[in-house]
Chains A and B, each alone.
Chain A
Amino acid sequence: MAESKPRVGFVGLGAMGLPMAQNLAKRLAVPVTVSDVNQKVLAGAAAWGGVVAPSPAAVAAASDVVFAMLPDDAIVRAVALGKGGVIEGAHPGLVFVDVSTIGPWTMREVAEALGTKGVEAFGAAATLGVAAAKEGRLGIFVDDFSPSFGKVEPLIQGYAKTIMRTGGLASSKVVKLVNNMMVGMNVAITAEAIALAGKAGIPAETIVKLIRKGSGDSYALANHFEKNALSGNVGKGLFPTSYIMKDMRLASELARRHRIPAAFAALSLAVYRGTCALGHKDHYYPLALRWMERAANMPALTPDPKE
């Protein structure tokens, strides 16, 4: 076993998971055992080296290392520990690596439960988004405390360009959450700044260009607003408002668990909730601008999504 390549499984072939699994199969030239609830995506799996299994349990039974890339905490819990879940395919030497953006508490719960069956589980988190996933150049944060990390690292290189080792169990989830919390708040706060300037008579293009030179500059201002929102690139296919809402909710929950107030995260969550209510659930989240413009009774400062 030690000499041969580990058998790889992948659960969750969504916008991120599918290209990750495909790159894994291609770069490492190995079959990847997969499962998903979407039959359509499974139907196309054979074409790129995916071997369809009927359940996460079956994926686990056929693999030495199983990756999961799933939408939220509840689904991760179900895939790992539920009926037909990884836990039912447990066998000695199995390693489960969850790459989903979830709360660190869920990662710990899953790891503890799988541990009782002799399965080693730890976390990872992906950054840079769908485009990077397609090109196999994701940045991956990963808990590197485990003895199995050495076995898993070459597999992660199948879909990552940069691997950042974060330490103990679920630390990668925390890093990801802190970063997403920051960008979620930065976008909401910057949207307020742009809308306020707009109401006071300064066009969005002007204020964005000027603040880019000032100390109020940020990645959010350069990327989310200057590059995308100003040119109307706010439609489907970019990180949607419903996703950032989920991240802000996780941040709020993390704060609650530590009994630390996180009011900027809470306000941002409310802003994104309002943005979804205006019909932008699947659109790019800098459209938080629309919610603010509505509250201030003013015309739109940037173009609407094209579709």
Chain B
Amino acid sequence: MKIGVIGTGAMGAPMTLNLAKAGHQILAYDLDMKKVEAIASNAIRPAASPKAIAAECELIITMIWDDASLRAAVKGADGLCAEPSFKGTLVDLSATSYQVAGEVGKALAAQGAQFLDGSVIGGGVPAARAGTSPIVIGGDAATFERYRPVLEKLGSVDYVGALGNAKITKIINNFLVGALSASNAEALTLGLAEGLDLKDLVAWTVGGSGNSHVLEAFMGRYVREGIYGIGQISHPLMAKDLTLACELGDAFDFPALFAEYARQIYVECARDLGENEMFTTVFDHYRRKLPAGR
């Protein structure tokens, strides 16, 4: 099958390689074409635009930055919808909003094309490389079943029902990652204030009911190796993800107390610790509240 990929960044590149390895022909596009050239081969060829991909491929996967880039890739002057013959299926796996999924779905449906909304809900870059990413997909069930075998080359795939549900699942997951990381930092800092050793405290809470994936994967690694782990997102991106959760609350009349508060923390982290710092340094944000020497 000839498959289009739009977005060959940290996640998109290894996913593209896995599709090629499974025997598919890939046409790839990225705003920064150097990223496509870096993985180009007989099976992976660069495309001039999303429109050019739409002219040749029946299945297109997007793995891009944000709502604006998804909108541009679909509805822009060189976007998929600019190719009137495109009646295929777009599967968006980017961390985009619930609202934009509806909007893009509508635009594609208007010209007889299909849209599935998808999300990668964990594993980061290592899982994308290994082809084991946990992936959720929402939208038309028959369309999903048709492309399930292709998507399963990227990871473990679950169908979640109506269009938009995959985005919601991702938003909920990332909200938990952000809020739990910050609240863990709050709790650990109190332990440090009392003079306990961070390494012991992490070991005991990982072994206790306070454990979570973020505690084990990030703080666990931090106390062992002095680094927080790899393949994470920055403070501004975490703030963006939490904003999506707040907006989901707005859209459905839900008072999202913890999401609203956690968002503020990462906005503050971006300012105080730096825009390029990974969100897991939220622990440093809390630790700085301790008296010197602790």
Binding site for B on A (CB under 8 A): 104, 127, 139, 141, 164, 166-168, 170-171, 174-175, 177-183, 185-186, 188-190, 192-197, 199-202, 206-207, 210-211, 213-221, 223, 251, 254-255, 258, 260-265, 267, 271, 292, 295-298
> What residue of chain B has the Cβ atom nearest to residue A217's Cβ?
B213
Cα(A271)–Cα(B255), bound, Å: 12
B191 touches which of A178, A190, A271 (Cβ 8 Å): A178
Residue B210 CB within 8 A of the other chain = yes
**Which residues in window 228-253 of B have CB below 8 A to A?**
245, 248-249, 251-253
Cα(A218)–Cα(B212), bound, Å: 4
A214–B209 CB distance below 8 A: no
Interface SS of chain B: helix
By a CB distance below 8 angstroms, the chain B residues around A190 are 176
Nearest-neighbour CB distance to chain B for A176, whole angstroms, equals: 9
Binding site for A on B (CB under 8 A): 98, 121-124, 134, 136, 156, 158, 160-162, 165, 168-169, 172-177, 179-180, 182-184, 186-191, 193-197, 200-201, 204-205, 208-215, 217, 245, 248-249, 251-259, 261, 286, 289-290
Nearest-neighbour CB distance to chain A for B159, whole angstroms, equals: 10
A211 touches which of B162, B176, B209, B261 (Cβ 8 Å): B176
Cα(A188)–Cα(B194), bound, Å: 25
B169 touches which of A178, A197, A255 (Cβ 8 Å): A197
Contact A104/B194 with A192-B256, A213-B134, A267-B261 known, Cβ cut-off 8 Å: yes
Contact A192/B258 with A215-B123, A297-B253 known, Cβ cut-off 8 Å: yes
B194–A254 CB distance below 8 A: yes
A200–B121 CB distance below 8 A: no
A166–B183 CB distance below 8 A: no
By a CB distance below 8 angstroms, the chain A residues around B248 are 196, 200
Cα(A166)–Cα(B255), bound, Å: 40
By a CB distance below 8 angstroms, the chain A residues around B210 are 178-183, 186, 219
Cα(A185)–Cα(B248), bound, Å: 21
A216–B172 CB distance below 8 A: yes
By a CB distance below 8 angstroms, the chain A residues around B253 are 199, 296-297
A214–B121 CB distance below 8 A: yes
> What residue of chain B has the Cβ atom nearest to residue A105's Cβ?
B194
Nearest-neighbour CB distance to chain B for A194, whole angstroms, equals: 8
A213 touches which of B122, B182, B251, B258 (Cβ 8 Å): B122
Cα(A143)–Cα(B272), bound, Å: 37
By a CB distance below 8 angstroms, the chain A residues around B254 are 195-196, 199-200, 296, 298
B122–A251 CB distance below 8 A: no
Cα(A265)–Cα(B183), bound, Å: 8
Closest 6 CB pairs of A and B: A216-B176, A182-B210, A218-B212, A214-B121, A215-B122, A264-B183
Contact A210/B190 with A182-B210, A195-B254, A196-B254 known, Cβ cut-off 8 Å: no
A254–B190 CB distance below 8 A: yes
Contact A167/B196 with A192-B256, A213-B156, A264-B182 known, Cβ cut-off 8 Å: yes
Cα(A202)–Cα(B290), bound, Å: 41
A255–B190 CB distance below 8 A: yes
